[in-house]
Homo-oligomer: A and B are copies of this chain.
Amino acid sequence: MSIQGSVHVLAFDVFGTVVDWHGSITREVEALGLGIDGAEFALAWRAGYKPAMQRVMAGQQGWTLLDDLHLGILDEVLVQFGVTSLTEEQKHDLNKAWHRLDPWPDAVEGLRRLKQRFTLCTLSNGNLGLLANMAKRAGLPWDCILGAEVFRQYKPHPDTYLGVARVFDVAPAMVMMVAAHQNDLDSARSFGLKTAYIERPLEFGAANTKDVSASPANDFHATSLADLADQLGC
């Protein structure tokens, strides 16, 4: 059977794959007029994300939603950039910038086309409220929002990838992970999921273009979600 025929569920990484976190956070930080480089601030904020998750995964910190991890990192990055002028309210509002990330230009239309044929879910380390608010604002037509908060584990824990298959009561090979990150796809593949890579060369901004070369290990390699829809015959 073709992959198009055997895959029922597409599970999407979100940050970087569907939405442009770097451009959106840069925009929000610049709008505050703090006299700092928004693009550098965005990179620093995002750079704190993996170490923060790893503290939770190593058991040094109890289960924590991404919103709360983001807020802790924000405190550190504000100090690092010498910003002392934000009120608590402004800080909490800035933290919610992660709920207001803009989709890449091809994302909404690509998802709409893919949705005609597949069940679309998120598989993100973002918390449910963040992902739902983002989807409502951006018009992302998910059939179901899944992620770390549902499985009580962050990617790349097996419970997340295999959790999607369990939620939909299908074999892992009937789920295809769609992501702009090879390590996410490598993990998904190791648990039996199919994989599709999406090129997002500008994920870290125009000053830091990313290697988006194809890996033969993936089932699909696409330049955009619209291209993936084309390749899947949607």
**Is chain A's interface secondary structure helix, strand, loop, or mixed overall?**
helix
Whether the Cβ atoms of A168 and B119 lie closer than 8 Å is no
Whether the Cβ atoms of B119 and A132 lie closer than 8 Å is yes
Among A46-54, A76-84, A104-112, A144-152, which stretch is in contact with chain B? A144-152
Interface size for A (C-beta < 8 A) is: 20
With known contacts A135-B143, A145-B145, A129–B169 Cβ distance under 8 A: yes
A129-149 residues at the B interface, CB under 8 angstroms:
129, 131-133, 135-136, 143-146, 149
CB distance from A171 to the nearest CB of B (A): 14
CB distance from A231 to the nearest CB of B (A): 22
CB distance from A106 to the nearest CB of B (A): 22
Residues of B within 8 A of A150 (CB): 128, 149-150
Residue in B121, B131, B136 whose beta carbon sits within 8 Å of that of A119 in the complex: B136
| A58 at interface, CB cutoff 8 A | no
Provide the A65-99 mask, 1 if CB < 8 A to any CB of B, else 0: 00100000000000000000000000000000000
Residues of A near any B CB (own CB < 8 A): 67, 119, 121, 127-129, 131-133, 135-136, 143-146, 149-150, 167-169
6 interchain pairs (CB within 8 A)?
A127-B167, A128-B150, A131-B144, A133-B168, A135-B144, A136-B143
